[in-house]
A and B are shown apart, each in its own frame.
Chain A
Amino acid sequence: EDQVTQSPEALRLQEGESSSLNCSYTVSGLRGLFWYRQDPGKGPEFLFTLYSAGEEKEKERLKATLTKKESFLHITAPKPEDSATYLCAVQGAPSSASKIIFGSGTRLSIRP
């Protein structure tokens, strides 16, 4: 059964203090691993798709990396506006009609 586990559950950082969020996954034939951001009272918003081990994607202060068993979301010199819940999701084989399942998320708080 496909499974996604995220850690830590919550992370509090000082502004400018870099860190990483972890996403471990088990899936039959990875079609894609995805990162989303969710602000309070809103639906999740898409950030990145990673397709294969070794791939990296960047957006502003965020960089996502992928290995065969886990993904990291690195946050460099974060700002208070980066505070949100970050969700990891996976889609397995065989096709684009496959289900997408989410981890429970990491609540990130950046103090000024």
Chain B
Amino acid sequence: DAGVIQSPRHEVTEMGQEVTLRCKPISGHNSLFWYRQTMMRGLELLIYFNNNVPIDDSGMPEDRFSAKMPNASFSTLKIQPSEPRDSAVYFCATLAGSARGELFFGEGSRLTVL
């Protein structure tokens, strides 16, 4: 298995632009988590899905952020409009239903908003 695949690996954009981050989970993993990592705040949980259904989005900073999981093979995290304070590494991680806590992380998407 190729593991969790995220794209793009790096994105540089200007303030006000729309950003879309993508994640392909490991086949058969039924839970998907989006995290954001910064030096100041560490690894923050933004939203997670179980069987493609959003369970808890209380970590999403504001209405500019949205996430979808249209099927078991794909998820997106969208920021519109982007702001400099959104600059961070965004990780997608997945979990097999039977495995407590063993998250498999992607390589992350490093976002820089100028």
Binding site for B on A (CB under 8 A): 31-34, 36, 41-46, 49, 51, 87, 89, 91, 96-97, 99-105
Report chain A residues within 8 Å CB of B11.
none
Binding site for A on B (CB under 8 A): 4, 31, 33, 35, 41-43, 45, 48, 50, 55-56, 91, 93, 95, 97-98, 100-108
Report chain A residues within 8 Å CB of B55.
97, 99
Q: From residue A91, how far is it (CB to closest CB) to chain B in Å?
A: 5
Partner of A44, one of B41, B50, B105: B105
Known: A89-B103, A96-B95, A100-B103. 19 other contacts (CB 8 A): A31-B100, A31-B101, A32-B101, A33-B101, A34-B101, A43-B91, A43-B93, A44-B43, A44-B91, A44-B93, A91-B101, A96-B98, A97-B55, A99-B33, A100-B45, A102-B45, A103-B42, A104-B43, A105-B43
Main secondary structure of the interface of B (DSSP, over half): strand
- A105 near B107 with CB under 8 A, answer no
- A46 near B42 with CB under 8 A, answer no
- Nearest opposing residue in chain B for A48, CB measure: B101
- B105 near A102 with CB under 8 A, answer no
Partner of B103, one of A46, A97, A103, A105: A46
- A96 near B103 with CB under 8 A, answer no
Closest 6 CB pairs of A and B: A43-B105, A104-B42, A34-B101, A102-B43, A97-B50, A32-B100
